[in-house]
Amino acid sequence: MSEIVIDRITSSLPDFLAKQEFSKIAVLVDEHTKELCLPLISEHLPPHSLIEIPSGEVNKTLDTCQSIWSELTNQGVDRKGLLINLGGGVIGDMGGFCAATYKRGIAFINIPTTLLAAVDASAGGKLGIDFNGFKNHIGLFQEPAAVLIDPLFLQTLPERELRSGFSEVIKHGLIADKDYFHQVTAEQLNQSNWNAVIAHSVHIKNEVVKNDPRESGLRKILNFGHTIGHGIETHFLGTDKHLLHGEAIAIGMICEGFLSKKLCGLSEDELNELVSIIKGIYGKVEIAKSDFVPIIKNMYQDKKSTNGLLNHSLLKSIGEATYDIAVDEKDVLDALFYYNQLPD
Q: Which residues bind ligand GLY (CB under 6 A)?
A: 120, 124, 126, 219, 222
**Nearest distance in Å: CB 289, ligand GLY:** 29
Instruction: Give the Cβ contact number of residue 78 at 10 Å.
Output: 12
Q: Which is nearer to ligand GLY, 124 or 257 (CB)?
A: 124
Q: Which is nearer to ligand GLY, 222 or 327 (CB)?
A: 222
**Nearest distance in Å: CB 262, ligand GLY:** 24
Out of 21, 104, 132, 268, pick the active-site residue.
104
Instruction: Give the Cβ contact number of residue 207 at 10 Å.
Output: 11
CA distance 241 to 287: 10
**Nearest distance in Å: CB 215, ligand GLY:** 6
Containing 126, the helix (H) or strand (E) segment is strand 126-131
Q: Which is nearer to ligand GLY, 145 or 222 (CB)?
A: 222
Q: Is 168 a catalytic residue?
A: yes
Q: Is 205 a catalytic residue?
A: yes
**Nearest distance in Å: CB 302, ligand GLY:** 12
Question: Which residue of this chain has its Cβ atom nearest to ligand GLY in the complex?
Answer: 222
Q: Which is nearer to ligand GLY, 40 or 322 (CB)?
A: 322
Out of 230, 235, 303, 312, pick the active-site residue.
230
DSSP string, 21-68: --S-EEEEEEHHHHHHTHHHHGGG--S-EEEEE--SGGG-SHHHHHHH
Out of 34, 226, 304, 312, pick the active-site residue.
226
CA distance 165 to 12: 23
Out of 24, 34, 126, 261, pick the active-site residue.
126
Q: Is 215 a catalytic residue?
A: yes
Q: Is 3 a catalytic residue?
A: no
Q: Is 223 a catalytic residue?
A: yes
Q: Is 104 a catalytic residue?
A: yes
Q: Is 206 a catalytic residue?
A: no
User: With b meaning 16 or more CB within 10 Å and e meaning fewer, what string describes 286-303?
Assistant: ebeeebbeebbebbebbb
Burial class (CB in 10 A: 0-12, 13-18, 19+), 227: buried
Q: Which is nearer to ligand GLY, 154 or 222 (CB)?
A: 222
Kindly tell me the number of DSSP H helices and DSSP E strands found in the chain: 14, 10
Could you list the active site residues? 104, 126, 168, 205, 215, 219, 223, 226, 230, 245
